Structure 1
Amino acid sequence: MTARGWALFAAMSVIWGIPYLLIKVAVDEVSVPVLVFTRSAIGAVLLLPMALSRQARTLLRRHWKAVAGFAFFEMIAAWLLLSDAERHLTSSLTGLLIAAAPIIAAVLDRLTGGERLGPLRMAGLGIGLAGVAVLAGPGLSAGGAWPVIEVLLTATCYAIAPLIAARYLADVPGPALTSACLGLAALMYLTPAALTWPRHVLTPHAYLAIGTLAALCTALAFVVFFALIREVGATRALLFTYVNPAVALVAGVLVLREPLTWLHISGLVLILTGSVLASRVGAQKPSGVSSEDVADEEPTGDVDVG
């Protein structure tokens, strides 16, 4: 990997590892609909210049049902559940539980006619689920069952969205898809956000968290992500998703002084080990699929933005 590739890889590891920290800060001062709306609206506006081509608009109209489905699972439902859960759970625990998404994705892919799960991948599922169980215990004690369920439902949303993108949206440019989905999410949350808009002046920390989440972790993140794909290829690029949970853990502990226990570390190791094994894919690519198709397909697939 080149120096530029490593720099982009490190950037993505951090950019999509800190949203959990930022969400935790923001939901202390604004409602969940306000947070989801501002994140979506700002991100959509910033990415709009990259999604104005006639070809992109044509493809979005042609696949509008899949675009709506992707937006629902990747942003509209996922960000609502995630932000609400973080009103009760620590950001570090949330980031660790979200790491179960690749495991859930492997199961859903198999159930919907995807690649068969061999013994190694089945073992990965078991190991990963054991890690989720290790982490869910402290979560249930700290915030109750529903916030933990919300995070696991978010991980399920992040697992479903890749299947939609890979099977129906492979020919849609990433920035155009992202901008359209963010715009749709902003429209969905416009009224709830207006009804719950804060009447008090926010602290600088809240403004910084919301602005960083929208501009850095949403808009810029996708630009860097696609640059990383072009630099190192889709397969290597997606390896950063295994670093994000560790970044979320470290950020929560250092910035918010959240507790760090052996259960956190053990759960992280188990989930990441299980994810690596469960998400292994065969060396053979489907016939008729070029490397460019794969590069277009995977970025809009296994995307966990928090």
Structure 2
Amino acid sequence: MNRNAALFAVMCLVWGLTWLPVKVGASHVPPVFLAAVRFSLAGVLMLLWAGRDLPKVPAGAWPRLVVTALLLNTANYSLLFWGTAHAPTGLAAIVNFATIPIFTLLASRAIEGERIDARKLAAIGLGTVGLGFLFATRALGGLSAVHGDPLEAVGLAAVAFGTLFYCTGAVLSRPIAGTMPTLTLAGWQTLIGGVGLSAVSALVEPVGRADFAALVRSPVLPAVVFLIIGGSLMGFTIYMRLLRDWGAFRAGLYAFISPAIAVGVGVIVLSEPFGVSEAVGALLMFGAAAIALKRPERAR
């Protein structure tokens, strides 16, 4: 196994495991507060890592940088962390990862006018059916009633809407991505998003002294450390290296592996339900993502 293949395996594992600390941490402190702490600290560390590249943001790029930070990190992770607190981690991961290429297609069409051909339409249609299967049991009050959380379906919907905000922010980031170093862009987006998450948490969550105290105790402290180091610093760095060496298509294949890891961890560690409807929905979502990620054949 070459070095990039080993790094790809690490990235898939880390991003598949991040859903567990989100779930665990959010069961002890408010979920948006947890996200705010993660992204604020991760943003500071990224900018320190950027070093002399930290101020290399063109003056004209700041408005778009702020807007995309609020979409990518504030809006997205407010909904994602809240949704994961109420929905099974495995299903939340599937909804998040598998809808990224589909929502990116829709955002690219709406913002950039990118053409949606028959292949892309098939991906969107298949993904929509897959989402229906993933939501079916919860919407009908099946497994959610057994596990006592009536907000499972709403939580999964929150993850889906958060992913749509993320994809919109990613498409809007493209014009400024080449105007500054990658780590500078990511660091500022992460920090600004963390500040936005802090504001959202202050507005909607009852955060008190006990929540701040919980940050330095188990199990919240190890959860936050893993999310910052594993999810943000390691995962991001590896992904950017693979983008450089492999290209977006091969690097993006984590979308088929990390959710499977999240499902397995959720079932084994948290005893989360995963039935026939969820399995069918997952297969359809993975198929839709595969179609969306497939590179078009070159004309001969």
Q: When the two structures are superposed, what TM-score results if normalisation uses the length of structure 2?
A: 0.85
The aligned residue for residue 135 of structure 1 is: 134
The aligned residue for residue 282 of structure 2 is: 268
The aligned residue for residue 188 of structure 1 is: 196
Count of paired positions:
282
Look up the equivalent residue of 1:259 and give its one-letter code.
Answer: P
SS in 1 for 2:56: helix
The aligned residue for residue 173 of structure 2 is: 165
Tell me if 1:147 matches 2:145. Answer: no
The aligned residue for residue 45 of structure 2 is: 46
Look up the equivalent residue of 1:63 and give its one-letter code.
Answer: A
Q: What's the CA shift for 1:198?
A: 4.5
Look up the equivalent residue of 2:174 and give its one-letter code.
Answer: A
For 1:212 and 1:262, the matched residues in 2 are separated by 32
For 1:113 and 1:33, the matched residues in 2 are separated by 31
Cα pair 2:99 2:127 within 8 Å, conserved:
yes
Look up the equivalent residue of 1:250 and give its one-letter code.
Answer: G
Tell me if 1:222 matches 2:236. Answer: yes
The aligned residue for residue 64 of structure 1 is: 62
Percent of paired sites with the same residue: 23
The aligned residue for residue 304 of structure 1 is: none
Cα pair 1:21 1:91 within 8 Å, conserved:
yes
Gap regions ≥5 residues in structure 1: 285-306
Deviations 1:15-70 (A, max 9, x none): 2222222111111111123202210122122212232325x523254311221122
Tell me if 1:120 matches 2:119. Answer: yes
CA RMSD for the aligned pairs?
A: 2.3
For 2:121 and 2:184, the matched residues in 1 are separated by 36
Deviations 1:229-274 (A, max 9, x none): 3332333212222222212211211221212212222111100111
The aligned residue for residue 95 of structure 1 is: 93
Tell me if 1:256 matches 2:256. Answer: no
Q: What's the CA shift for 1:283?
A: 5.9
Look up the equivalent residue of 1:52 and give its one-letter code.
Answer: G
Look up the equivalent residue of 2:40 and give its one-letter code.
Answer: A
Look up the equivalent residue of 1:258 and give its one-letter code.
Answer: E
Look up the equivalent residue of 2:30 and give its one-letter code.
Answer: S
Q: When the two structures are superposed, what TM-score results if normalisation uses the length of structure 1?
A: 0.83
Kindly indicate which of the two structures has a greater share of residues assigned to helix: 2
